[in-house]
Amino acid sequence: MNRLQGKVALVTGAGRGIGRTIADTFAREGATVIATGRSEANGFADGVEYHRLDVSSDADWARVVGEVTGRHGRVDVLANNAGVIAYESLHELTVESWQQVVAINQTGVWLGMREVVPHMQRTGGGSIINVSSIWGSVAVAGAHAYHATKGAVRNMSKSAAITYARENIRVNSLHPGFIRTPLTEAQDPEINEFVIGQTPMGRAGDPQEVANGALFLASDESSFVTGSELVVDGGYLAQ
């Protein structure tokens, strides 16, 4: 308990699933948590406040971070978790579909980092956790835009880590495997069965298992960890 005592943490895509669990976990560990999403949500743990945020909107980011720093004076942790998935092959993708996935999965991560970094520079550092995926490192057939964006998040994190290392701003990427969430539950069951079947541990992960990784990266326990990829995937990428 209290591994994040006194820290102010902003979590995107926190209405449900992994983001919701990260927000609640951070709050239980003592952080003041700003959970964000595109629709209303409630029922969070004590210490969580909720703000509407479209991560693809420059103006929304400026508004939310302005409200947070105006009220709390700082942002110590940013967990860029918001994301969407689409199973479309390269030749099937429309420009509109491509732009939507890029806007949320990639541009949203960049905008979030760009907005909080100056505040972290002012207060002497912080931790940024960008949620990528096992499919940011390897691929399956189809899901072209998703693979492109999650691979981008992986390298964007490394670039930012190197850029701001001397200012004590740590940037790491988090790579979940198949996790049982409302997002995956809405997928074709055959896709889910295939990915679980390819996972050496033979089961789906739980959102709390990913949140535990995010907690480590957010805490001072990871003070010498930056530019790294934390994989939570039941052994998928070890193959």
The string of pLDDT tens digits covering residues 42-76 is 888 888 999 999 999 999 999 999 999 999 999 99
For the chain, give the number of residues.
239
Band the pLDDT of 101: cuts 50, 70, 90: very high
Residues 195-211 pLDDT 10s: 999 999 999 999 999 99
Strand partners, 172: 129
Q: What is the pLDDT of residue 188?
A: 77
Which of 50, 146, 164, 236 is catalytic? The answer is: 146
Question: What is the CATH T-level fold of the domain 8-234, as seen in this structure?
Answer: Rossmann fold (3.40.50)
Q: What is the DSSP letter of 213?
A: H
Q: What is the pLDDT of residue 14?
A: 96
Band the pLDDT of 142: cuts 50, 70, 90: confident
* Cα(17)–Cα(207) distance, integer angstroms: 6
| Residue 210: CB atoms within 10 Å | 27
Higher pLDDT pick, 59 / 191: 59
In angstroms, how far is CA 37 from the centroid of its own chain? 12
% residues pLDDT > 90 (the chain):
86
Provide the token pair at 225: 């960890």
Residues 218-227 pLDDT 10s: 999 999 999 9
% residues pLDDT > 70 (the chain):
100
Q: What angle do CA 68, 19, 192 make, to 5 degrees?
A: 160
Query: What mean pLDDT is predicted for residues 162-181?
Result: 97
Q: What is the DSSP letter of 45?
A: P
Query: What mean pLDDT is predicted for residues 79-83?
Result: 97
| Domain edges within the chain | 8-234
Q: What is the per-residue burial (b if ≥16 Cβ within 10 Å, else e) of 194-203?
A: ebbebbeeee
Q: What is the pLDDT of residue 42?
A: 80
Band the pLDDT of 6: cuts 50, 70, 90: very high
Query: What mean pLDDT is predicted for residues 95-101?
Result: 97
Query: What mean pLDDT is predicted for residues 24-31?
Result: 97
Q: What is the pLDDT of residue 43?
A: 85
- CA-based max dimension of the chain: 49
pTM over 0.75? The answer is yes
Higher pLDDT pick, 133 / 186: 133
Provide the token pair at 92: 């099937």
CA-closest candidate to residue 170, choices 116, 97, 115, 224: 224
| Catalytic residue status for 236 | no
